[in-house]
Structure 1
Amino acid sequence: MKGFILAAGKGTRLYPLTLEIPKPLLPVNKIPIITYLVELYLKNGITDIKINVQKKHLKDFAKWRVIYFPRKKIELMVERKPSGTFTPIAKKISPQWFREPIVVSNGDELKELNIKKMMSWHRQKGALVTVGLVRVKNPKDYGVAKIKGDKIINFIEKPRKPPSYYINSGIYIMSPEIRKYFPKRKKFSMLESDLFPKLAKEGKLFGYKWRGRWTDCGTFKRWEFAIKNWKKK
């Protein structure tokens, strides 16, 4: 299997720290966040990995790769400016590489799930995009999925009355056909606003509910929680 990791965001909620250190390289128990993600990929048979990174952080990621995964097939794709979460996947990955469904993950979360099962489920459903959904106790702090059967109707951001306890866990299976949904003449494009709503309207956005450990490290509070609670098993 092939996998992509989104790691070129600015990490503004962790400023000024992320002005110097890219968010995926922040440590959780002395191990960079993205290391856990790559280990998850490798454990699930994902051996061909691409990671998009900001140009100013290329040396940091190159050093990380040498230290942690010197013999693994990991390509760093450089972005001069952040282009969102949809653009790198639809426009910057070669069609030859993206000929079959791939696994995509945000680079600032910790998660433990069986990706092989998620991929099988995606193929079985004939989905264009499958969003990994995880159940949380306090969904009001996140984008919450409104679900009908196996399909996602929409996501509601930080609702007062959540329609479910399931949120976007930042891991996806994507089929090559998503390219045709890319908005023309747009350099910055987001999965959450430019792709998912269109697929949901067409009934092609599926939600895969998984159980396991998950934590977001996108704010100081959540990063601190991860440091205190995430231990390697």
Structure 2
Amino acid sequence: MRAMILAAGRGNRMRPLTDNQPKPLLPVAEKPLLGYHLEKLASAGVNEVVINHAWHGEQIEDFVGDGSQWGLQVSFSVEPEGGLETAGGIIKALPLLGEDPFWVINGDIWTDWDYRDLPTDLEKGLLGHLIMVDNPIHHSNGDFAIENGLLVNGENENDARKTFSGVGLYRKELLAPYPEGKQPLKPFFDRAIDKKQLAASYHDGFWTDVGTPERLHQLNQRLEK
């Protein structure tokens, strides 16, 4: 099983904490955020991990090395300054990710979700499976709703929209026709949703987007109790 950790973002909202280091290396309960993902992926049976980077990427490579301390084989996808956005970064890394479905994890989240519960395969016709969570205060309208195990855009007021956690299982075909350069991921999701090709599960436990110094502080307080 292969996985990709997205770690190329500049982390502007985290400044000045990210002026001299990448956001995934910020300490959470005295451990770099990236370390939690590597531990959990290894425990879930992943053996190969791709990490993309653009901002202070050499620090990420120095911390991770070849991945052997976690029992992983890690390779890196180096992006130009400013990064390629989410879909662009995944597309650039596709040669390292193989032909089978692979997990993609945002490097700047923290969750108590057990990665061993993540799906490892997709039913015929599906291009992805996203993990959805309750809407945080800073994203109160959510992203998509779940209907009979599939994602829908949930544009009706009665639809219970949830937030995409930044954890998903994808077939590479989700990103066809594989355009190069900066590419956001949402248009690819929207297209797959329209064709009923995107499944979802709901996680009702703890999740946070570690996107600001305040949320980082709150997470540290929670884990240090």
| TM-score in terms of structure 1 length | 0.83
Indicate the residue corresponding to 1:166 in structure 2.
162
Q: CA deviation at 1:99?
A: 0.5
Q: State yes or no: 1:105 paired with 2:105.
A: yes
Indicate the residue corresponding to 1:214 in structure 2.
207
The one-character-per-residue Cα deviations of 1:14-33 (angstroms, maximum 9, x if unpaired) are 12221211110000111001
**Whole-angstrom distance in 2 between the partners of 1:167 and 1:179:** 21
| TM-score in terms of structure 2 length | 0.86
Indicate the residue corresponding to 1:153 in structure 2.
152
AA aligned to 2:15 is: Y
How many aligned residue pairs are there? 222
Aligned pairs for 1:106-125 (under 5 A) are: 106-120=106-120, 122-124=121-123
The one-character-per-residue Cα deviations of 1:75-134 (angstroms, maximum 9, x if unpaired) are 12211230010012223320x7320000100000112324344315x5247420111012
* Structure 2, gaps ≥5 residues long: none
RMSD: 2.7
Aligned pairs for 1:1-233 (under 5 A) are: 1-54=1-54, 56-66=55-65, 69-70=68-69, 72-81=72-81, 82-94=83-95, 97-120=97-120, 122-124=121-123, 126-136=125-135, 138=137, 140-141=139-140, 143-154=142-153, 163-164=159-160, 166-182=162-178, 184=179, 187-192=181-186, 194-230=187-223
SS at the partner of 1:92?
A: helix
AA aligned to 1:197 is: D
SS at the partner of 2:118?
A: helix
**Whole-angstrom distance in 2 between the partners of 1:60 and 1:5:** 15
**Whole-angstrom distance in 1 between the partners of 2:124 and 2:149:** 9
Segment drifting more, 7-16 vs 63-72: 63-72
